[in-house]
């Protein structure tokens, strides 16, 4: 029937400071991507979605 999801343990454990730095970088990347998308310069608009997903993963 329905299979249970298996949890995967993280290969690398990151510190809180590392996660905060990475989150700040991703938010900055998202801001830059939004600006370039508004200007019509963004080649791949799917990058916005992937950046938002990465930010959400960092927050959870």
As a whole number of angstroms, the distance between CA 23 and CA 51 comes to 10
pTM of the entire structure?
Answer: 0.76
Contact status, residue 23 vs residue 55, Cβ threshold 8 Å: yes
H-type helices in the chain, by residue range?
16-38, 46-59
As a whole number of angstroms, the distance between CA 22 and CA 7 comes to 23
Q: pLDDT tens digits, residue range 10-28?
A: 788 889 999 999 999 999 9
Supply the pLDDT for residue 48: 95
Q: How far apart are the first and last CA of the chain?
A: 29
């Amino acid at each position: 029937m329905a299979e249970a999801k298996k949890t995967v343990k993280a290969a690398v454990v990151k510190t809180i400071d590392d996660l905060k730095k990475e989150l700040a970088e991703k938010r900055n990347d998202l801001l830059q991507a939004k600006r370039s998308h508004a200007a019509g310069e963004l080649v791949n608009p799917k990058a916005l979605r992937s950046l938002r997903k990465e930010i959400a993963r960092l927050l959870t």
